Chain A
Amino acid sequence: MSLLSLRGLSKSYGTVRANRGIDLDVAEGSIHAILGENGAGKSTLMKLIYGVESPDEGEIFWQGDKVSLSSPAEARSRGIGMVFQHFSLFETLTVVENISLIVPGRKAELTSRIRELGRDYGLEVDPAAHVHALSVGERQRVEIIRCLMTDPKLLILDEPTSVLPPQSVEKLFETLLKLRDRGVSILFISHKLEEIRSICDHATILRDGAVTGNVDPREHDAHDLAQMMIGRDMPAPRPFEARAPGPVMLELAGLDCRPDDPFQISLKSVSLQLHAGEILGIAGVSGNGQGELARLISGETRRHPEARAEVMMMGQPVGHLGAAARRKLGFAFVPEERLGRGAVPEMSLADNTLLTAHRLGLVKRGLIDRRAEEAFTARCIADYDVRTPGPQAEAGALSGGNLQKFIVGREIELGPRLLFVAQPTWGVDIGAATAIRRKLVDLRNAGTAVLVISEEIEELFEICDRIQVIREGRLSPSLDVSETRVEDVGRYMIGAEERARP
């Protein structure tokens, strides 16, 4: 008998059919993968199982009995726990306070149980710490502990590895295997094929809200799984051209920055050099200062005029200049948040091009040249394969991948000498991600300096010449990709390299 069975589950949001007639069987003591691209309906399905949303149609069977899970509390009482992708922790509360929100008991009692579970499963965390002071990996441990304390029979993990460095991923997998051996089934949501092959004993593949396959992932190679997931062959990466590096286009020299905001990371003597015609990647676990570094380079955070030389662009000190002045020098920037910083969701694509491309003849004598604006937008849409009705479509109506292609296209069309892209393919489907990476490599081959911040190491290894790792606001020395292994970068990500050295 299955622990959990779904029969014909459907859920629509407006006209979007997020889940269509899903059948799923999770066995006892199994690590079961739900594999699918972003937007395939994985998260919606998990919300239905955890009672956050109710299905429009279909039935849920728990240990053979038909149930209706109308709230998370009900799901928990039946033994279903969930670790969210975007953590549902409260930053201003302590670890034990967070846990006491769903686990009954006195604080002292909970504290000792947290320590105990931490030792048993390798999930060490300080119960009295405030969550805002914890690293992303620690927060995930808190989420898992919180679930374990409700004694679940089924644990749902939504993209648990997307925020972890490789070594922590291994540790997480050990924890999951231990849990499985003690009789807890795990629903493991991911779009990373190798991970699923290494730990899961069953995989259900989703595409466009429907099940497209039910397989044992250990019997299929990554290529097969990818084909089931995206419905076509994986596009090949762009071949790399060797180039002699050009002049330095971006230089940070011993940058120190202490923010007022206690939730932000201080940067400590950050140094980097980026040459024309190369791609430099900044790797690291999220929350180690990437956001702060990005704002310093983009010009959203300005330095005191005396410290102007801490940021040099095209050979000029720009530390004290704002974003517009830096862009005038030939700098272009794709921020991490597409909606709100990269584009204005309520405005049309055409008006969104105006935000950064206004210098390219789109404005004449203070008036907008609508025809030029439209033509420029149409070019971005065509060249970057943006799937949209046209230049007048609202930016917020595009899917994440399409909007990202559009924003990257807009910035590349500016003809920058220095392009900075933060998280180029976050939440973007495989097809669009590959297209974006190819464009970045093309740009490098054409002699532009490209800086990329990403949490996906594989992505950095695919496109970068060099990688530096950011950890707790410090940058590692520069690592040449051709002479570096993923594990080396991983060691810098968790700080093992610093400890190993005197």
Chain B
Amino acid sequence: MGGMTLTASPDLTTAPAAVELDGVVKRFGAVTAVDGVSLTIRPGEVVALLGPNGAGKTTTVDMLLGLQRPTDGAVRVYGRAPHEAVALGLVAAVMQTGALLKDYTVAETVRLTAVLFGRTRAEAQAALRRAGLADVANRLVGKCSGGQQQRLRFAMALLPDPELLILDEPTTGMDVAGRHEFWSAIRQDTARGRTVIFATHYLEEADAYADRVVFVRRGRVVADGTAAEVKAMASGRTVRATLPGAAESQLLAVPGVDRAEVRGDTVLLHGGDSDEIARYLLTRTAAHDLEITSRNLEDAFLALTAEDPA
């Protein structure tokens, strides 16, 4: 007997979302850490969770992992309660403060994880090799470098072959090459269908590697979309064109423009809907040589997280 088997409907049309947050609220006494978050993440998506410190990212992740219970609303992971999804190995995480015991060896740590998830010794050894830890298998965890310990955390997280992997600041402390290597590996992994949610403060990582960016601020989702959408939404785009003899007052009358600047024959028009501005320039004026640029995710981040004027 291999223990209790839990089966779900194999019907793909009703396949559950990887993550389903429905009106989730979490209060700690008088403090509201998460204030009504609703979010659906489909299997296979790579989602970056961004927001300033104290925005509610960690609390949200804790609720996905069953470490915190929502005050209100519902959290489902692959259609199940989070603690159940964790126990089944559907979701695993590498936490920023992922703790290890110093007086276990690397191999023992992975083997203990395998024992707990009901995996074989061979699977534990394979996980060690994949993580590049075979050479230090018999070293005490306390004597391992920070990089080796981080690889060990990954070996432990990947051992149950989770459908959803949650990463909290995964590349902190890695150099540029290490980060690149790390994300290539994650990309390969997600190509096989694994869902990834990561919190990061390297905005260029979110820009480069996430299919979707979710901005959280004061416990609410303030922007959700592709990196390009979020950048446009938060700080608009700039349309640059050659248009001799234009006056700023005329340009501000162009539909969708909120800022205009004239530099000799070049005009710079800024607005939320760059398509509309470009269409107008090309069809109603003599403008040519159009260039559309968006500001980077960092500007979007600053715009989205700026304090309200009130």
State whether these chains interact: no
Residues of B within 8 A of A (CB): none
